[in-house]
A and B are shown apart, each in its own frame.
Chain A
Amino acid sequence: MSKRSYWEENKLLKAFRFFAIFIVVVISLFPIFWMFSTSLKPSYEWTPATPIWITKNGTLNNYQTVLLGPGRAKGGWHELVGGELTGSMEGGAGKVSLKGESALFMPLFTSLLVCGSATALSIIIGMLAAYAISRYKFGGNFFSFFILSARMFPPIAVVIPLVIMFSIVGLLDSFIGLIIAYTGFTLPFSVWMVKSFIDEVPKELEEAAIVDGMTNFQAILKVTVPLTRGGIAATALFVFIINWGEFLVAFLLSATKVITIPVLLSKYFTTVQGRLYGPQAALGIIASIPVIIFAFIIQKHLVRGLTFGAVKR
């Protein structure tokens, strides 16, 4: 229903549209604004009787807490209770202690390492499979459904056996364990998104390369991959975004050693001192920035990724 400007819409409709869009923008941004505002509030302003929209006592304490850990941040809530964050939560692999672990450094490193490796693995494995499905129609509908089903399982259903399996091989609460799990759960996206990109490259180019003497692998590497470079990069960013926000799987498979940022976030929720809205908001902002940047970069391909390659711009 694209309408070019050959007929102006009447003023009333235009005003209505403008108003409606305005409302939509406000609704979309309001929770984010609230989060941002909260991240700058001192602790006594977090849950007052009357909510404070814009703080007059803006402070960067929350960010300090998040980045440096409570022990080293100046001022803020922990001075009220005089000490470190304490408390514990039930994780999938046992009690999770919070003592002095709220600094961002370790979880950031963990998240980066896990998400980065899992993304790379997922893309590589997915790319190979995508090629097989695209060019050879491997496995027909059943195989396709099979891959898609990795995304359909409620993680909880898979986690119990995974916990058992991991504990046997000693992968519980380990980097490798998380990486493997993350990889598995994002494979459907990798496969389908890359497949839709490979579909756009004419088969003839690879066939020509093979006729010229390359092996199948070389043809993929030297012909298909360069041509789908942009698409693969977009897929990688997309998978990274998904991994970055993954909570349940990380939560259930980690205890003390591998804590990703979302898991860290959840800790701010259940500490003994109550819910730490300020630091949580600050962390929320910090954690969301890379995602927003990446999502903006691949904006054109977001639809493709979210619909497993079915819908292309």
Chain B
Amino acid sequence: MNKLLKRIPFPVVLIIPIQIVMIFLLIFPLIVNLWVSQTNWSPLFGAGWWESKYIGLKNYYDMIFKDPRFISSVLRTSLIAAVCVTVELGLGLCYALLLVKDFFGKKVLVSILLLPMMILPLVAGYNFFMLFLDNGPINQMLSILLGKSVHIPWLSKPKLGLLTIMVADIWQWTPLMFLILMAGIASVPENQYKAAVSLGANRLQIFRMITLPLIKPVILIGVVIRGMELFKIYDLVFILTHGGPGTSTESISYYLYTAGFTYLRLGYIAAGAFITLAIFLTASYYILKPVIKEIA
């Protein structure tokens, strides 16, 4: 055995364990998915997967062209991702700019600002559920502010539900963008800043012409990473709206889960999963390429 190991180049030996896990966790499922998706397997009808019928690409066809619920979940998830990333980026930038100076207690303040990120995502979801109840504090505060009784059904109307989900995610993950941007801004070489000042630039010009271009790679990383996670959004949808009312606030993950375990048309869902995978992979590959260059 040792002799065999000695003939394999060292780096290959190192990556054997990770390859095993990845193959087991990623490749096999992909292959199984691929296969299952081409059957009409559904445990509801009592059959084990080895007894289901091969139906080729019918599941795919059905999902893409005959399933508005799936399509709208894709669109909706894209919307959530786009809005949340943008707002988190903007707010994170504001936080970072507010805290550029060193001052007494800055470390403590930063820790406090990071707290939202450190609560379990599910727990954060619960909190927002409570806050946005019809008779919850948000409505209460709005009532006081507007002088009249406000009972906005945050969690039971489609558009509002979506908004609540976005607010919850923004609350929890803006600190991440803040951290990333703060690190980026801090890494601007001080002498470049001084040079710009001595050449007559004011703060806005310095930010626009020097800081911003220098933190572009950092922004890109933040956007990609956050966007990646947002596409998979599940926990918040689950807690806040259960995809409802009806199916109007479903994200891709949520739809696949519900359809999968409620209707148990697993073959169909496998196709959905595969399509989603395909979308993710191609989109990420092109977006991640510049990011990989930064980290690799």
Contact = CB atoms under 8 A, between A and B. Distances in A.
Touch between chains A and B, by CB atoms below 8 Å:
yes
Interface of A: 1-3, 5, 17, 20-21, 24-25, 27-32, 34-35, 38, 47-51, 53, 90, 92, 124-126, 128-129, 131-133, 135-136, 138-141, 143-158, 160-162, 164-165, 180-181, 183-185, 187, 191-192, 196, 216, 241, 244-245, 247-248, 252, 261-262, 265-266, 269, 277, 280-281, 284, 287-288, 291-292, 295-296, 299, 302-303, 306-313
Given A21-B99, A161-B36, 4 more contacts: A49-B135, A154-B232, A155-B234, A247-B234
A311 B253 contact: no
Contacts of B80: none
A38 B129 CA distance: 12
B165 interface: no
Interface in B237-296: 238-239, 252-253, 256-257, 260-262, 266, 269-270, 273-274, 276-277, 280-281, 284-285, 288-289, 291-296
Contact of A128 (B15, B100, B171, B222): B15
Contacts of A309: 295
A90 B114 contact: no
B228 to A, nearest CB: 5
Interface majority SS (helix, strand, loop, mixed), chain B: helix
**A3, A25, A192 — which one has the most chain B CB atoms within 10 A of its CB?**
A3
B218 A161 contact: no
B113 interface: yes
B24 interface: yes
A248 B22 contact: no
A271 B161 CA distance: 22
Contacts of B122: 245, 247, 262, 265-266
A218 B290 CA distance: 35
A197 to B, nearest CB: 13
A34 B190 CA distance: 42
B87 interface: no
Contact of A29 (B94, B112, B135): B112
Nearest to A308: B295
Contact of B36 (A131, A146, A160, A280): A160
Given A38-B130, A162-B29, A302 B235 contact: no
B1 interface: no
B126 A269 contact: yes
A212 to B, nearest CB: 17
Nearest to B217: A310
Given A1-B97, A288-B123, A311 B32 contact: no
Contact of B112 (A5, A25, A136, A153): A25
B186 A24 contact: no
Contacts of B26: 149-150, 153, 158, 184
Contact of A157 (B10, B95, B101, B276): B276
A310 B291 contact: yes
Contacts of A303: 179-180, 183
A252 B234 CA distance: 12
B17 to A, nearest CB: 4
A157 B273 contact: yes
25 contacts: A1-B211, A2-B193, A20-B94, A31-B171, A32-B127, A35-B123, A51-B135, A90-B261, A125-B18, A132-B15, A140-B296, A144-B292, A144-B296, A151-B228, A156-B234, A156-B252, A157-B276, A160-B269, A160-B273, A180-B25, A184-B25, A187-B18, A266-B122, A311-B180, A311-B218
Contact of A184 (B21, B100, B281, B288): B21
Contact of B14 (A131, A187, A306): A131
Interface-central residue, B14, B95, B294, by most chain A CB under 10 Å: B14
A132 B14 contact: yes
A92 B261 contact: yes
Given A51-B137, A265-B126, A308-B295, A28 B112 contact: yes
